[in-house]
Structure 1
Amino acid sequence: MFFSIIIPLYNRPQEIKELLESLTKQTYLQFEVLVIEDGSKNDAKDIVAAFANRLDLHYFYKPNEGQGFSRNFGFERAKGSYFIIFDSDCLIPPDYLEVVYHRLSNDYLDAYGGPDDAHSSFTAMQKAISYSMTSPFTTGGIRGNKKGIGQFHPRSFNMGVSREVWETVGGFIITRLGEDIEYSIRIHSSGFKIGLIPEAKVYHKRRTSYLQFYKQLHFFGRARINISKFFPQELKLVHFFPAVFTLGLIFTLIFNVLGWRIAWLANSVLIIFILLIFFHSLIKNKSLKVAFLSIGAAFIQLIAYGLGFMQDFWKRIILKQP
């Protein structure tokens, strides 16, 4: 089995250097790498060229269209029987391709997704954000989980599709705002088999500050509404949780300001939530600093997603604006 690894890139030369370095250590060697520079002003051409003698590597520069259409650009030029998509801010464990090869050889999947985790080299902030994005106490609990709610939808930071899927279903039809979930739903609808490969994890660096994380999750909240415009049935009650949490937080503040008796109940629920995040993160990361930062990351994740969700729910579903 020959894999084509497709990596869209936009103004992140240092990230692609670390990602390519991790790919040079793969134990399974039947693969090529396609780096699609999506109209970057700060391009990585020279950095990629430095790996030319260490990887079967192909570099392309194209006008900016967004990550979805950049992946399509890679699909069209890939030689492999199976395409694997990574985000540029990922590090890939040495046995990743070997794990995928053995799974597909023994129990074939037409498309798959894998989980993400924090690497030991990540900063405390990156580990806290990674925790929040994978925590059972936030929206992370319903992402990348074979025991999650509804169909499993691979996410494009760690996703594979067969050439047959590409030739039958096509590629991404939207380039941002939930393009990977929309693509997964179409793959499902075409009768292909999709599953999670739990051992095929990547180390996902994500964002390095609360502000960057807020902007990313606000975008994710808006993306969920965008997906519902294509597939209304995919907007489920669980997707309202961050919005409900955000509204609950606002009402808790109001109750405390007004001195209403119900404030003690709301405060108690909030304290329990904070303690759950803190101790769960402490057990997982074995770091007090990461545990404290995880509290902030969890609140930012839920509030940012909730506000983005409510913003576009009001605009696109209530007001029917495009």
Structure 2
Amino acid sequence: MFFSIIIPLYNRPQEIKELLETLTLQSYKNFEVLVIEDGSKDDAEAIIKSFADQLNIKYLVKENAGQGFARNFAFERATGDYFIIFDSDCLIPEDYLEIVNNSLAENWLDAYGGPDAAHPSFTPTQKAISYAMTSPFTTGGIRGNKNSIGQFHPRSFNMGISRQVWEKAGGFIITRLGEDIEYSIRIHSMGFKIGLIPRAKVYHKRRTSLLQFYKQLHFFGRARINVYKFFPNELKLVHFFPALFTLCVLFTIISNIFSWRIAALCNIIAILIILLIFFHSLTKNKSLKIAFLSVLASFIQLTAYGLGFMQDFWKRVILKRP
């Protein structure tokens, strides 16, 4: 099978260099790479050209319109039987394409998603963020778990679709704010077979600071409401959990300020959650520093998502504003 690897890029030349280096090491060689420069001021043209003798690579440039429409731009120019989408801040294990090719040969999927993990070279903060985004105590492990609640929705940091899917479903109809979730739901609705390939993992750097992580997760919370506007039935009870968690945190803080009797119970619950996350991360990462940062990252992950979710729920669902 011939794969077209599609990578939208916006002002991240160093990231794309590291990603392309991992693609040169793939054990499966039957693929092309399309990098879409989405109106970047700090472009990666020189870096892309430096890989011309190592990869079958195309460098595409367009006006800035967001990652969803940048991927559409590449879909129209890709020649592969199967399109694979990566975020530019990913590192790809050398057996990734071989795993995907073998898996599709044994059990065909019209579209698939894969999990993400932290690479040993990541900073402690990046590893803590990776923990927060994959932990059963924050996301429920749904981003790369075959036992996830409801339908499995591939995410665009590690996602593949067949050419047939693109020809029938078209590309992304929104360019950001949950565009990959909307696309996954639409593919499902057309009767295509979608699933997780558990071994097709990528190493996802995500954000390099907790402040950047907060901004990203606040955006994700808003994105869930954006998806709701397209598919109201896809807003599940589980999506309200970060908002509930955020309200509980605020209530705990207020109860301590006013010395309410219930403050002691709130504090005990908070301590139990902190200890649970801390020791679970310590077991996984074997690092006290990462375990401590994992607690911070997990609270940021839940509260930032919860605040973004509540903001747009109030604005777009209750007040019915655009």
Same fold by TM-score greater than 0.5: yes
In 1, Cα distance between equivalents of 2:192 and 2:315: 34
Counterpart for residue 38 of structure 1: 38
Tell me the alpha carbon deviations over residues 179-226 of structure 1, each in whole angstroms, 9 at most, x when there is no partner.
000000000000000000000000000001010000000000000000
* Structure 2 residue 256 is matched with structure 1 residue 256: yes
- Give the secondary structure class of the aligned counterpart of 1:77: coil
In 2, Cα distance between equivalents of 1:300 and 1:164: 39
Counterpart for residue 170 of structure 1: 170
The CA deviation at 1:143 is: 2.1
In 1, Cα distance between equivalents of 2:75 and 2:58: 13
Asked whether the 8 Å contact 1:33–1:56 carries over to 2, the reply is yes
Counterpart for residue 281 of structure 1: 281
Report matched runs for 1:102-251 at 5 Å. 102-139=102-139, 141-251=141-251
Asked whether the 8 Å contact 1:139–1:242 carries over to 2, the reply is no
Counterpart for residue 90 of structure 1: 90
Counterpart for residue 292 of structure 2: 292
Asked whether the 8 Å contact 1:124–1:289 carries over to 2, the reply is yes
* Structure 2 residue 10 is matched with structure 1 residue 23: no
In 1, Cα distance between equivalents of 2:120 and 2:57: 28
In 2, Cα distance between equivalents of 1:227 and 1:21: 34
In 2, Cα distance between equivalents of 1:254 and 1:98: 54
Tell me the alpha carbon deviations over residues 220-271 of structure 1, each in whole angstroms, 9 at most, x when there is no partner.
0000000000000011110000000000011111111121221111111111
Asked whether the 8 Å contact 1:144–1:153 carries over to 2, the reply is no
In 2, Cα distance between equivalents of 1:67 and 1:145: 25
- Give the secondary structure class of the aligned counterpart of 2:141: helix
In 1, Cα distance between equivalents of 2:216 and 2:255: 30
In 1, Cα distance between equivalents of 2:140 and 2:91: 20
Counterpart for residue 54 of structure 1: 54
Counterpart for residue 306 of structure 1: 306
Asked whether the 8 Å contact 1:28–1:97 carries over to 2, the reply is yes
- Give the secondary structure class of the aligned counterpart of 2:125: helix
The CA deviation at 1:30 is: 0.3
The CA deviation at 1:140 is: 5.2
Moved over 4 A (4+): none
The CA deviation at 1:139 is: 2.0
- Give the secondary structure class of the aligned counterpart of 2:76: helix
Residue type of the alignment partner of 1:315: K
In 1, Cα distance between equivalents of 2:193 and 2:131: 29
Tell me the alpha carbon deviations over residues 51-105 of structure 1, each in whole angstroms, 9 at most, x when there is no partner.
0000000001100010000000110000000000000000000000000000000
Counterpart for residue 68 of structure 2: 68
In 1, Cα distance between equivalents of 2:163 and 2:28: 19
- Give the secondary structure class of the aligned counterpart of 2:144: coil
Residue type of the alignment partner of 2:128: A
Alignment length (residue pairs) = 322
The CA deviation at 1:172 is: 0.3
- Give the secondary structure class of the aligned counterpart of 2:152: coil
- Give the secondary structure class of the aligned counterpart of 2:207: coil
Counterpart for residue 77 of structure 1: 77
Question: Identity, % of aligned pairs?
Answer: 77
Relative distance call for 1:71 and 1:219 in structure 2 (3 A) is same
Asked whether the 8 Å contact 1:132–1:140 carries over to 2, the reply is no
Alignment gaps of 5+ in structure 2: none
Q: Tell me how large the CA RMSD over aligned residues is.
A: 0.6
